């Protein structure tokens, strides 16, 4: 049983640990929507219909700022805006899938833990 390092915080700040924790509830879902290629704003709203435009935009801006997603405006009219994964964003899909696989595998246990019905 190895002793804990004296200051794990300096070694691993919380934000460094979790790029998954974009501070954003929808970010991961948006990434998965983009995995097969670029999508337009309105295309994203369909599968994510529970999210309001404001919140979707918030998510997209965050992902753009962090370099996971690229935004391209194609002038119109009618104009369209495409969102696509950057290489960085695509590289995150691996760990993200690992997380999803884990969740799927342990879904029952998670439910039981929260609500031992």
**Which of 36, 77, 79, 117 touches its own copies (CB under 8 A)?**
36
Report whether 6 contacts 71 (CB < 8 A): no
- 52 in contact with its own copies (CB under 8 A): no
Shortest separation between residue 46's beta carbon and its own copies, angstroms? 6
- 54 in contact with its own copies (CB under 8 A): no
Strand segments, DSSP code E, in 50-89 are: 69-74, 80-85
**Which of 1, 75, 76, 78 touches its own copies (CB under 8 A)?**
1
Report whether 37 contacts 93 (CB < 8 A): no
Helix (H, G, I), strand (E, B) or coil at 60: helix
Shortest separation between residue 79's beta carbon and its own copies, angstroms? 21
Report whether 94 contacts 76 (CB < 8 A): no
Residue 67, φ and ψ in degrees, nearest 5:
85, 15
- 109 in contact with its own copies (CB under 8 A): yes
Binding site for DNA (CB under 7 A): 23-26, 40-43, 50-55, 57-58, 60, 71, 78-81
């Amino acid at each position: 049983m190895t002793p804990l390092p004296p200051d794990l915080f300096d070694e691993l700040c919380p934000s460094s640990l979790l790029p998954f924790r974009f501070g954003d509830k929808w970010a991961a879902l948006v990434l998965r929507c983009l995995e097969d290629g670029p999508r337009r704003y309105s295309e994203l709203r369909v599968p994510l219909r529970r999210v309001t435009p404001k919140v979707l935009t918030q998510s997209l801006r965050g992902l753009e700022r962090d370099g996971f997603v690229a935004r391209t405006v194609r002038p119109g009219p009618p104009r369209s805006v495409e969102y696509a994964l950057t290489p960085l964003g695509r590289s995150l899909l691996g760990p993200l899938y690992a997380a999803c696989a884990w969740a799927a595998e342990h879904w029952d246990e998670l439910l039981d833990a929260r609500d031992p019905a």
